[in-house]
Amino acid sequence: MNLKPQSILVAGGGSTFTPGIVMMLLDNLDKFPIRQIKFYDNDEERQNKIADAIEILLKERAPEIAFSASVDPAEAFTDIDFVMAHIRVGKYQMREQDEKIPLKYGVIGQETCGPGGMAYGMRSIGGVLELIDYMEEYSPDAWMLNYSNPAAIVAEATRKLRPNSKIINICDMPVGIEYRMAEILGLKSRKDFVVRYYGLNHFGWWTDIRDHDGNDLMPKIKEWVKEHGYVTPSELEQQGNEEVEASWMHTYEKAKEVSWLDPETLPNTYLKYYFYPQDEVEVSNPEYTRANEVMDHREKNVFSMCNQVVNAGTAAQTQLEIDDHASYIVDLARSIAYNTRERMLLIVENNGSLVNFDPTAMVEIPCIITSNGPEPLVMGEIPRFQKGLMEQQVAVEKLVVEAWAEGSYQKLWQAITLSRTVPNARVAKQILDDLIEANKEFWPELS
């Protein structure tokens, strides 16, 4: 097949994930040829540190690909087929606030769940809508593949406020867990099985996992998860994994207790924040949260490796690594570009796929991806336990988007109060007032 080469814009060019994604794209050029890569960010200095290294790397490894980095939307968004969007409005400094403010009140502090996730949502919505508007102005035929967080709130905002836009919201957590399931099963790849799954982003369950001959693989995985969570057999043997940080190992272990709530299904790891919020507060350090961990490790490492490439004038010795697990983004882009009809989990409008659930909710379910976009699959009726949890959480997400659109203090207070992670309305208000103060520069004014 003669595949038409694509033009890619990475929005959030200064992201810690950018080098890994570029290298993953280079690793997949046979399946997804590229004629141009552009970077866009609103922080020129940060983006340039990454871009200068990537320019050298591309010249050495794929000189046929045109490369540029810009903070000018017209320049960046013109002549683009796909926007790969991973921005973090407010950067790690604000993530730190999202995590530390709720923890002051004994409530979980997390990037996407609970009050921290809502605070991040109130910043992200405007940033992602702006990217959509630039894309529609300068490359109206392009698609945006968005994994900027908090994906659930961003997805609801784009559904409500940009209903006709060509944006697809996706999360890598199910992919990451499926890698672990493959290891637990002793299979080479997660592509050796097909899954049924339903839920919201960072809030879902696998209901069926079968190999290509139709054999049910769920019993074996369930048996393992009930005892060990998503810790893999080799991690168990070696008591950890050098590449996986301790906080993530804790999450994989905790999936054991999460799985006990429903023996019929297998859970997403993020449910731990909703089922055991107090346990998570207990293992958190209010003085040193995940944002600090990421700033001290991933951010430092990525920027210093880029700096080394620039100083050496070559990427020959670089330790920058391919983000192999991000290849799901190629699967998605390729399916749209070449109509390969890949089956993937996406965050899409329910519209009847979960028959007994709000048709306007943004749900995470399997879809067949065509060059016209996703065709969601029907996952049928969902049980009362999950339905109850999901209705509460969808209401939280919708209230945040309404609060942003209407500038409503009341609705954001309601949203925080409604979250399972928050004990009562008074605490919700204290957290909200602190978050407003911290987010002055980023949130719309609330009244």
Binding segment (CB under 6 A) for ligand G6P, from list 124-132, 169-177, 183-191, 348-356: 169-177
Among all chains, which residue has been given the structure tokens 């002549």?
79
The binder of 262, among Mn ion, ligand G6P, ligand NAD, none, by C-beta within 5 to 8 A per type, is none
8 binds ligand G6P (CB under 6 A): no
In the complex with Mn ion, the residue whose CB is nearer, 90 or 174, is 174
299 binds ligand G6P (CB under 6 A): no
186: its two tokens: 């002793």
103: its two tokens: 């923890």
Contact 55, 67 (CB under 8 A): yes
Instruction: Give the SS3 label for residue 17.
Output: coil
Catalytic residue flag (residue 81):
no
189: its two tokens: 């790849």
- What does the angle CA 290 – CA 156 – CA 179 come to, to the nearest 5 degrees? 50
Following DSSP, what letter does each residue of 406-430 receive, concatenated? HT-HHHHHHHHHHSTT---HHHHHH
> What is the contact mask toward ligand NAD in residues 169 to 208, using x (rule: CB under 6 A)?
--xxx-----------------------------------
Q: Which residues contact 429 (CB under 8 A, 6 or more apart)?
A: 413, 416
The catalytic position among 270, 273, 274, 328 is 270
Which listed residue (7, 28, 48, 148) binds ligand NAD by CB under 6 A?
148
Task: Report CA torsion sign: 32, 86, 112, 365.
Answer: negative
In the complex with ligand NAD, the residue whose CB is nearer, 46 or 220, is 46
Instruction: Give the SS3 label for residue 104.
Output: helix
Catalytic residue flag (residue 270):
yes
Binding segment (CB under 6 A) for ligand NAD, from list 55-63, 81-89, 242-250, 261-269: 81-89
- Residue of 72, 61, 4 whose CA lies nearest to 38: 72
The binder of 290, among Mn ion, ligand G6P, ligand NAD, none, by C-beta within 5 to 8 A per type, is ligand G6P
> What is the contact mask toward ligand G6P in residues 273 to 292, using x (rule: CB under 6 A)?
-----------------x--
Q: In the bound complex, what is the minimum distance in angstroms from residue 290's beta carbon to ligand G6P? A: 5
Bridge partners (DSSP) of residue 204 are: 199
Show which residues are catalytic.
172, 270
- Contact residues for ligand NAD (CB under 6 A)? 11-12, 14-17, 41-43, 46, 86-89, 91-92, 127, 147-149, 151, 171-173
